[in-house]
A and B are shown apart, each in its own frame.
Chain A
Amino acid sequence: MLTNLLAIGPELVLTLTVVLVLIADLVIGDRPARRGSLAVLSFAGLAAAAATFFLLPDGGPAAFGGLVSGDGLGVFFRGLFLVAAFFGVAFGALSDEIPVERFGEYAAMLLATTLGMSFLVQSQNLLMILLSLELVSLPSYVLAGFRRGDSRSSEAALKYVLYGAAASGLMLYGFSLLYGMAGTLDLSAIGPALNAKAAGGSVGIRAGIALAALLSLAGFGYKVAAVPFHQWCPDVYEGAPTPVTAFLSVGPKAAGVAALIRFVVIGFGASVATPPAGGLPWPVLLGVLAMATMTLGNLAAIPQDNVKRLLAYSSIAHAGYLLMGIAVGTPDAVQAVAVYLPIYLLMNLGAFLAVMAVRAKTGSETIADYRGLVARSPALSIALAIFLFSLTGLPPLAGFIGKFYLFAAVVKAGTPFFYVLAIVGVLNSVVSLFYYARLVKAMFLEASPDGAPAVLVPVPVGLLLAILAIPTLVLGLWWSPLADLAARAAGIVG
């Protein structure tokens, strides 16, 4: 019993924090320190949750009769989500887009989303996957619509809800078919059961498994914003308040990627090294999805004038790169995905923080208003340039290391299809340089428009920018600690 509770210690602390923040929000009332004290309470909760990692049972046994897994993958991502939540709360506390009287609700919703992500990555059971996905989604909808009275924010929330409900419905239908055919909800038992069925089964059985798997894929595809489930992404990212966009672009996306790894690689046992699981060619299927996702994301990003929209398409492209890793499915590839996501978190959060700082002074998110930013705010411009070049994957920045691990894993797969996939990925990185560099060119090489305001960065924002930019630089040169952690997540070393 105690082992079970200790295994979900971080989640218990997070739940408690959500409730405490809501109560504190009521108790504190209109005092001037409202925003600060609620933020400190949230940080304390996150720190306490992080501390309970040391109490996790040794060896990572499955808890609650196999409903949740205690493996390295789950522990790695749960830690990552605490970091994402820290930045999410901090961004919200520093942004004027989150009104002070609603900051408590913002923090509570954000922490509830984090709780859902945390359960999602360790779910070893279809029922738990579905429930935790809903726990990620429901507060996300609320966060996307947080700027009430702003029609774009409301539109974003509504689109998010409608797409989310449809995707959840499709996934639930897929899960029910899987349950019907495999007779179990347990992920570790579904793969073997379906393999047995597909091996001796008729065409009808194989078609049924394929349908169920594709429908289930819809739910994960929606969370990571993969083509063809990406249409909500640009509108939601543009309409939602910037701190929310920043959080949504890293948190739920990483959770979706991790859950997809668990579903496909651990559940179905799919990888290039093994025969098709459940009669489905997972590597090729996901590889094609990856190609479509990164190509569409990068091409659609080129003509964008709104920076948040541009970053939305860029995040779709990055989902494509990550799908490549899941398609390969070997421990090396899982390690590559686990290296990529923390780096992606740093550089994407950094880019959105810079956008937030510019918006706070100019009230604008269009590229035209970034012209000549270097003269008005040199440090901010340099930081943003670092994040953008890292997102492109240029050495010696961290983004290069992330991409290097991913492409290495893809090439190591060694089949002609994966060579093509790697080439498509490299070409896409070249395309992405075009639109990232367009923003950098506007900042550094073009003259400021007349009367453009100086962008003074407040000290806490500058501090956060540094916290995000320095690892982006350092990890590009000294990445072995991260690679070791990722290897542990992928189960390569105990």
Chain B
Amino acid sequence: MTDPIVSAMVFYALAAFTLVAAGFVALSGNIVHSAFALFATLFGVAGLYAYLSADLLAVVQMLVYVGGISVLVLFAVMLTSGLDGPLTSNPTFRLGGGIVLMLAVAAAAFVAATAVPSGVESAAVPTTAAIGDALLGAYVLPFEVVSVVLLAALVGAVTLARGYKGGHR
């Protein structure tokens, strides 16, 4: 069991980091800056996962979202033609609607958070081993079916995307 004050400080630091970065994503006028800020936001979310002792989720978040998706987003931003230029972003920013929406979400979150009794903070227990056991034990069939789904999706995507005018292959 950690000191509750230290624990709270870690949480607020992580949350503040994530929120500031997310605000940057939404508010920055430069789309490349937004993309880099998204990188930081996802990193902060990974930190929150780790804080909640979801260690596998944190690592997956780092590998897939921070490592993979962000780079993909950057590529998409930089390679997309038809943008007026890298400095165009969020041209339709509206303050009033945004604030109303934010307050509504905050109110909903408050209701949801207060409806559930706050639990006692428990010691962090690693989850990776248990998830691994579940994936290759009780849930091995869905795990393998996912691989077939991905194979079908991959072959299907290639089928649809391959050039077709120039004859066979």
Contact = CB atoms under 8 A, between A and B. Distances in A.
Interface of A: 8, 15, 18, 22, 30, 64-65, 67-68, 101-102, 105, 108-109, 112, 115-116, 119, 125, 127-128, 131-132, 134-135, 138-139, 141-142, 145-146, 148-149, 157
B142 A131 contact: yes
A112 B145 CA distance: 11
A112 B148 contact: yes
A138 B139 contact: no
Contacts of A15: 148
A119 B155 CA distance: 20
Interface stretch (B35-43, B47-55, B160-168): B160-168
B1 interface: no
A109 B159 contact: yes
B131 to A, nearest CB: 14
Interface class of chain A by DSSP? helix
B8 interface: no
19 contacts: A15-B148, A18-B152, A30-B168, A64-B140, A65-B138, A101-B169, A109-B155, A112-B148, A116-B152, A119-B145, A127-B142, A128-B141, A131-B142, A131-B146, A135-B148, A135-B149, A139-B156, A142-B160, A157-B160
B149 A138 contact: yes
A322 B142 CA distance: 29
A128 B146 CA distance: 10
Interface of B: 138-142, 145-146, 148-149, 151-153, 155-157, 159-160, 164-165, 167-169
A108 B155 contact: yes
A145 B141 contact: no
A128 B143 CA distance: 10
B8 to A, nearest CB: 28
Nearest to B159: A105
A227 to B, nearest CB: 28
Contacts of A68: 141
Contacts of A149: 164-165
A22 B159 CA distance: 11
B168 A101 contact: yes
Contacts of A145: 160
Nearest to A106: B159
